[in-house]
Amino acid sequence: MQSTGRGSVVDVALQGTGLSTAAQLDRVRVLQRLRLGDVAFRHLTRAAAATVLIILGGIIVSLVWGSLPALRAFGVSFLYEEVWNPVTEKFGAIAPIYGTIVTSLIAMLIAVPVGLFIALFLTELCPMWLRRPIGIAIELLAGIPSIIYGIWGLFVFAPFLQQHVQPFLIAVFGEIPILSTLFAGPPYGIGVFTAGLILAIMVLPFITSISRDVFEAVPPVLKEAAYGLGCTTWEVARYVVLPYTRVGVIGGVMLGLGRALGETMAVTFVIGNAHRISGSLLAPGTTISATIANEFTEAVGDLYTSALIALGLILFVITFIVLAIARLLLLRLNARVGA
């Protein structure tokens, strides 16, 4: 029997049930109510997904439109000029771009291995009575506002680095090529290296928490089988846990990198806010977020404001490129496993 509408389908479904007319009508109402609820849920989720795309499109359009005056005035040179002079209205973005990338790289070079080791310790080696206190401490680190990190970094961490760590680095690496350039100059305390360390502390809880959660999702039978074959804890972590959870781990790393790229207040306190590029990591610098936070309220003139908005557009593009590389890496990993 063929039917062309939902009502006829319901009628056919109710035929031969042996129910009374009233019971059949009640069942029809229930089915129709469920169908309407399903349709409403489908449209609601579709609208939510469309809302995200609309918001993202609006942000992109706003950034592009606001940055057009600066891009027209300076062209491609805006990306590689170092000068930043609001008085003469000469602007270049290379110093903030350099500071953003370098501080984020320093943060990830420190936070990723430390975060993974902490997560492996919590899931594989840590006694049960100690797991909860360490987990709570990590979650508390994630909940501290960024401005608190900035104040602590300026008044506590930077003086400590200036008195103890930076002189040691200058003395140790002073005679080694390349490293002597990276750790040259007077120990200011504040600077690109300090900002990178603060960012590493800030993103560490995110990487650790996500890695711990995905490590705990590994089926115990896989680890038990590896231990049964005589594998050590390191071999189980390397050949079982990490390959099984690579997607989640990379997602946690990308989340931490996104936080590092866009962090504003903590970096503003400790980086020095100098619009110049120095070969030394101990020298002051600036980032895109710090530049926008420091100068947007004081921007006088359309060109000055447009240059700051153009910095925001560049930060958006950098973040998009990083996420695209992460997705490409995941696709290559999945293809390799499939092969």
**Contact, 287 vs 100, CB < 8 A?**
yes
pLDDT for the residue numbered 154: 93
Phi, psi of 269 (to 5 degrees): -70, -35
Q: Record the tokens describing residue 214, joined without a space.
A: 């995905």
With a pLDDT cut of 90, the percent of the chain lying above it is 46
Hey, what's the torsion of the CAs at 247, 249, 254, 256, to 10 degrees? Answer: 160
Hey, what's the torsion of the CAs at 79, 84, 90, 94, to 10 degrees? Answer: -10
Domain end point (choices 15, 37, 72): 72
Q: Within this chain, do residues 42 and 138 fall inside the same structural domain, yes or no? A: no
Distance CA 218, CA 239 (A): 12
pLDDT for the residue numbered 225: 92
Q: Within this chain, do residues 241 and 296 fall inside the same structural domain, yes or no? A: yes
Domain end point (choices 36, 54, 72): 72
Is residue 18 over pLDDT 60? no
Distance CA 206, CA 254 (A): 10
Read off the pTM: 0.84
Please report how the helices 302-338 and 94-120 are oriented relative to each other, as an axis angle in degrees rounded to 10. 40
CA distances from 84 to 69, 73, 87, 163, 231 (A): 16, 14, 9, 31, 57
Q: Within this chain, do residues 151 and 289 fall inside the same structural domain, yes or no? A: yes
Q: Within this chain, do residues 40 and 134 fall inside the same structural domain, yes or no? A: no
**Contact, 267 vs 222, CB < 8 A?**
no
Distance CA 26, CA 18 (A): 14
Q: 129: domain range?
A: 80-338
Domain end point (choices 72, 93, 109): 72
Is residue 16 over pLDDT 80? no
Task: Give a yes or no: residue 152 inside a domain.
Answer: yes
Task: Give a yes or no: residue 232 inside a domain.
Answer: yes
Is residue 111 over pLDDT 80? yes
Note the pLDDT tens digit of each residue in 191-244: 999 999 999 999 999 999 999 989 998 999 999 899 888 888 899 999 999 988
Task: Give a yes or no: residue 68 inside a domain.
Answer: yes
Task: Give a yes or no: residue 302 inside a domain.
Answer: yes
Task: Give a yes or no: residue 1 inside a domain.
Answer: no
Q: How many CB atoms lie within 10 A of CB 155?
A: 11
How much is the mean pLDDT over the chain? 87
Please report how the helices 192-216 and 128-143 are oriented relative to each other, as an axis angle in degrees rounded to 10. 130
Instruction: For the chain, give the number of residues.
Output: 339
Average pLDDT estimate for 44-62: 93
Q: Using alpha carbons only, what angle is made at residue 53 by residues 325 and 293, rounded to the nearest 5 degrees?
A: 70
pLDDT for the residue numbered 179: 87
Note the pLDDT tens digit of each residue in 116-135: 999 999 998 888 888 888 88
CA 196 to centroid of chain Cα atoms: 15
